[in-house]
């Protein structure tokens, strides 16, 4: 029955399962070596594996400063500082609030 289940999985799923089993077993052995029960390390390994999986599957934001839209104040000759978010003059080269030099992209 188990072999039939593994036969329906692709290579990436089998590799992920092997990584999980190895991760759990390794953490269990380390826990046992340090004097804790094997299952404590195994549970820690499962939690660590799930945390790693969630981190790797999270979508990363690809927005850049130049892609961000400026608010409607742009028509009034006012823009927001990309560092501190305060309103500054559209022609400003340096923010009067935080003192950061503005990039040419901000202009």
Confidence of residue 68 (pLDDT cuts 50, 70, 90): low
Q: What is the pLDDT of residues 9-25, one digit of tens each?
A: 677 777 888 888 888 88
Spatial neighbors of 69 by CB under 8 A, at least 6 apart, are none
pLDDT of residue 35: 92
Domain boundaries defined on the chain: 10-57, 65-106
Examine the pLDDT at 4 and tell me if it is beyond 70: no
Rounded to whole angstroms, the Cα distance separating 19 from 16 reads: 5
Higher pLDDT, 76 or 100: 100
Helix (H, G, I), strand (E, B) or coil at 80: strand
pTM, to two decimals = 0.43
* Closest to 71 (Cα-Cα) out of 87, 49, 55, 54: 87
Looking at residue 78, what DSSP letter applies?
A: E
């Amino acid at each position: 029955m188990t072999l039939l289940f593994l036969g329906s999985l692709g290579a990436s799923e089998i590799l992920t399962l092997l990584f999980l089993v190895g991760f759990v077993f390794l953490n269990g052995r380390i826990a046992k070596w340090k004097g804790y029960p094997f299952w404590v390390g195994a549970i820690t390994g499962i939690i660590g594996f799930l945390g790693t999986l969630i981190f790797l599957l999270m979508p990363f934001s690809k927005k850049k400063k130049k892609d961000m839209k400026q608010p409607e104040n742009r028509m009034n000759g006012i823009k927001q500082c990309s560092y501190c978010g305060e309103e500054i003059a559209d022609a400003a080269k340096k923010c009067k609030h935080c003192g950061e030099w503005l990039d040419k992209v901000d202009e």
